[in-house]
Every structure is written in C-alpha cells, then in structure tokens.
Structure 1
C-alpha cells in the first residue's frame, strides 16, 4: 500500500484531519488527538494502539509491524512498513487507533423516579 492510499483511508474515518508533525504528517481526530503519522518518504506509518492491542497486531505480522523502540512504543505506538502491507491490515490498524483516540460519548444519566 502506498502512503497516499493509507492516508486517504485514515482521512476517511469520521472527524479526522491531517497536519504537519515534525518531519511527518499526523492524522488527528476532533480535539486534536493524533492517532496516526506518516513518514515523508512513504516508507512507514505509525499508529497509536493500546499497550494490550500492540502485541496482538505485532505477533500477527512481525515482519511488517513493530513497537517503536522508545517510550512512545511502550505506550502503544507501533510502526508499519507500508509497501508490504495490504489494505485489510492498514484498515484494521487505523480503525483500532482511531477508536482509541476518538472522543467517547458522555454516559447517559439514568432517570430516577
């Protein structure tokens, strides 16, 4: 998959926008939470998974995925080699990352009475 194809998938999720982020392009949800970044050279995409989700995805495709080797990686940030990735894996990663970053609806108050 190309960087542009993956970026298009990310921007197809609800309430998302792209913005420069250091030497990368970040994709954010409403309220500015970043859930994915794309390298300028198009080689990789980083996504913010939960620390529980990260090993499940990495174990499913260890040749394509890995935790970023620093404190960000311990928080769930995971790198994907885009060129060898298929659409279904990219969609699954982006959706999981988006769900973790998207604002959660306020809980409904129970009526008493």
Structure 2
C-alpha cells in the first residue's frame, strides 16, 4: 500500500470565489456517468486515475480554467478539483515547480495529508 500521507499536497486558491448557491439548479446528471466511473476506479484501487478523471470533468462542467490541471499533469503531479472549486489540489513528489507555475493563478500553499 502506498504511503500517500508523506506526499506533499499543493493547493491552489484562485482569487475567484464560487458560492454554493450559485450551483443550485445545475444538472449534474450530465456528468454522472464520468463521476461514477471515477468512483468505481477509486474503489478498485485506481485512486490516482480517479482523481485525474474527476478534476477535468467537474472543472470543465463548472467552467473553471483547466490550465492548472494540465500543468500539474505535465509536471508529474496528481491533480483534482477541491470540493466545488474553484480551488485545485495536486499530490506532488517534488512540489517546487508546481508551486512556481501555479502562483500565476492565485495563492498557493503546501500541506500534507493526515
């Protein structure tokens, strides 16, 4: 079993804020098959693939900039959308380059899973 708790987590907090009430009435059923696939992947142990599938599906549907996910993937990190967004996170063995790249999108911090 992987010890992901030791892997640094980079968090991007864009200046943009999204209020939960602004998402009410959205028809999430159109992305349900993809979200369900991500859930099934995670249950089967493919949690990294599940994160990489979940992030682009939700962020694209909600209209968030996909560039942070693209950059994280190119740098070998495992990215996803955090909650309803627009924040992103990525597990990154070497977070320095990702921190540098994500700084142009907003506030960036590094933490660890607990």
Q: TM-score range by the shorter chain?
A: 0.3 to 0.5
Q: Which has the higher contact order (CA 8 A, sep 6+)?
A: 2
Larger Rg: 1
Give the TM-score of the pair, scaled to structure 1: 0.35
Q: Flag the structure with higher strand content.
A: 1
